[in-house]
Amino acid sequence: MYLTKEQASEILNDTKNSMAEGLIDKTEFMLSILKTDDWSMIIKAHALIETIVTELIVAQTEEEKLKSLIERLPLSDEQIGKLKITKDYNLLTSEQRTFVKRFSELRNMIVHKFENINFNLKEHINSLDKNQKKSWLKTITWYVDDKDTREKWEKISTEHPSIGLWYSTMMFVSLTTIKVKELESSTKIDKLADETTKTLLKYDV
């Protein structure tokens, strides 16, 4: 398959602009919820995660017409949920999927009872036993590779759980947004290259 230099340049510029716009929009949203209470931050951050996971699946499957259907799928259901689809297509790492699943559990725990509107994440983390807390810290520092950095962020996430969760979400959103734009760009390249190839073959004949 073939692309002209002009076509390649146009797609590259479009991808860069689209990626920048997506990151700016989502970063502004994330910064806005950083100043809210824990309950609001968790609900809003989870909504953004669910939205971007839907975008990821649509970008991979190239099924824009099915977006409304995909939006209605449960996020973390291991049989029919969106995370199951991301696993089948290898769109998210196991660490990312675990993070989303644990976040969903936290969100579901607080969203269905009115008294949880004053939910305090630090009090919740402090109420966990040693193993539960260790598991939680491992989950929200999924993006860390080296030991020293992990210990640093585990300390931050223990002393300031809201900051730790916010940063972990920000990392997920940023990396996933980039992946969405890469998939969309790849689809454009394939379609345009196919059209160009057909045109070249037509003239060759």
Residue 198, pLDDT > 80, answer: no
- pTM of this structure: 0.85
Residue 133, pLDDT > 80, answer: yes
Backbone angles phi, psi at 79, to 5 degrees: -105, -45
Look up residue 82 and give its two tokens. 């969106």
Could you tell me which residue, 20 or 144, shows the higher pLDDT? Answer: 144
Residue 193, pLDDT > 80, answer: no
Average pLDDT, the chain: 87
How big is the CA angle at 143 (ends 101 and 48), to the nearest 5 degrees? 50
Least Cα distance to 183 among 73, 64, 99 occurs for 64
Give the integer Cα–Cα distance in Å for 91 and 55: 11
Return the percentage of the chain with pLDDT > 70, whole number. 82
Q: In the prediction, which pLDDT does 199 show?
A: 60
pLDDT tens track for 52-98? 999 999 999 988 888 899 999 999 987 889 999 999 999 999 999 99
Alpha carbon distances (Å) from 124 to 2, 8, 105, 118: 56, 51, 13, 12
Q: What is the 3-state secondary structure of 127-195?
A: CCCHHHHHHHHHHHCCCCCCHHHHHHHHHHHHHCHHHHHHHHHHHHHHHHHHHHHHHHHHHHHHHHHHH
Residue 110, pLDDT > 90, answer: yes
Least Cα distance to 25 among 58, 46, 52 occurs for 52
Look up residue 123 and give its two tokens. 């009090």
- Burial code (b: 16+ CB inside 10 Å, e: under 16) for 15-35 equals beeebeebeeebeeebeebee
Confidence class for position 191, pLDDT limits 50, 70, 90: low
Q: In the prediction, which pLDDT does 15 show?
A: 63
3-state secondary structure of 36: coil
